[in-house]
Copies of this chain bind each other. A is one copy, B any other.
């Protein structure tokens, strides 16, 4: 219920108005680079915080609290002039009338930047969407954390073999960085934390399965990284199932295309994402839930609208199928677009976007990570893990978040503990559909 006395209330300015939809990596970088610049900037987001998605899996597995990986957006924009943040959903665009529509009114723009990011792709599997756990938002991570811990509380209370097994089995779909990192973190919990918490459970009964459709993990990285990640996961007892696609899930049994099934109350869906589309764009510019853009991130034939980050599909020589949907692309596009939008007002021409690959990394657990640089340098193990932590730490928003995360990591390193184990939903109020929480 949205009260009818609300309105967007953006004052007129003598600067042209730039509307940004989404405060993720792309939108945030763009807005920051336009600080007190030639535009009036209006940023829309449904949340009042930026989510550092690469560490969501640590929230889901009790390693970090959500406040450490999320940054209040208004704090980021402290000191910005002619800048307006609105915690409101943008429902649709009228690209001919150059306005956006929200539940509390319309707003006209001179330029519009769509940085809406992506959401979990369930590939049309409706029942899976209702029963599986996605991991793209803070609420998803919190819900998953509570669900996992609650299942062990229930496992203590059941002698029934089938239900016991369903409570102790966890299945992850998708062998990309998120899937590998969740699987690794669950392996660490199994090894170091859960047996001390639940002395009345036998953790050799706890099985973690990682199911991947391709013939190896970490498809975006090299074979060596994939082999190392699989080896690390198997050291934790994780069962890695390759060349296999999950075809269905009813909340109890995971069905796969190899005609086998796994009994589990927990299916974590990290199998893919698609663009978080906004209504109202011409059909021709949308391809597979992404928006076709030119080399300036400008929407084809709609020069007043740009798209950056996961939602943008820029096909060029470097990336004939578009760029990977990762934070680095989003950040670099946000930065370049800020330059280009300034150039436009000065009558200068825009520069083409060129993605600079800074390398890839994924961590499996303590002292277990894989790193690859574009120059061919690649390594795994302890130093890869240290580098992974360093890069993630400096990328977090705000000094307080860096500090609290650092304290948690140092604490975990020395104690093998993960301190954030609250179940904050009630035993008897459990939701059937975890997705609704988001």
Contacts and interface: CB of A to CB of B under 8 A. Distances in A.
A49 B415 CA distance: 19
Given A87-B427, A408-B400, A420 B156 contact: no
Contacts of A348: none
How many chain copies does the complex carry? 2
Interface stretch (A25-33, A121-129, A195-203, A215-223): A195-203
A388 interface: no
A7 B430 contact: no
A355 interface: no
A282 interface: no
A425 to B, nearest CB: 9
Contact of A408 (B48, B404, B408, B420): B404
| Highest count of chain B CB atoms <10 Å: which of A138, A139, A142, A407 | A407
A65 interface: yes
A153 B48 contact: yes
A419 interface: yes
Interface stretch (A66-74, A295-303, A310-318, A371-379): A66-74
A9 interface: yes
Given A7-B157, A75-B197, A424-B66, A411 B419 contact: no
B5 A158 contact: yes
A421 interface: yes
A200 B10 CA distance: 10
Given A6-B154, A78-B196, A197-B74, A46 B424 contact: no
A204 to B, nearest CB: 19
B421 A49 contact: yes
A119 interface: no
A127 B102 CA distance: 33
A258 B149 CA distance: 50
Interface string A131-157: 000000011001000000110011011
Interface in A1-25: 1-3, 5-9
A423 interface: yes
A37 interface: no
A107 interface: no
Is the interface on chain A under 10, 10 to 19, 20 to 34, or 35 or more residues? 35 or more
Contact of A89 (B48, B408, B428): B428
A68 B430 CA distance: 24
Given A9-B156, A67-B65, A197-B74, A3 B427 contact: no
A54 interface: no
Contacts of A421: 48-49, 72, 74-75
Contact of A403 (B6, B399, B411): B411
A401 interface: yes
A239 interface: no
B408 A6 contact: no
A423 B139 CA distance: 10
A103 interface: yes
| Highest count of chain B CB atoms <10 Å: which of A7, A84, A400, A423 | A400
Given A157-B8, A400-B408, A401-B419, A149 B48 contact: yes
Interface string A412-423: 000101011111
25 contacts: A2-B427, A2-B428, A3-B158, A6-B154, A7-B157, A9-B156, A9-B159, A47-B422, A48-B149, A48-B422, A48-B423, A49-B422, A49-B423, A65-B65, A65-B67, A65-B68, A67-B422, A70-B422, A75-B197, A87-B423, A88-B157, A103-B428, A104-B157, A400-B417, A404-B404
Given A2-B427, A3-B158, A89-B427, 18 more contacts: A3-B154, A47-B423, A48-B423, A66-B424, A67-B422, A72-B197, A72-B419, A74-B196, A74-B198, A75-B197, A78-B196, A87-B150, A87-B427, A88-B427, A400-B411, A400-B415, A403-B407, A404-B407
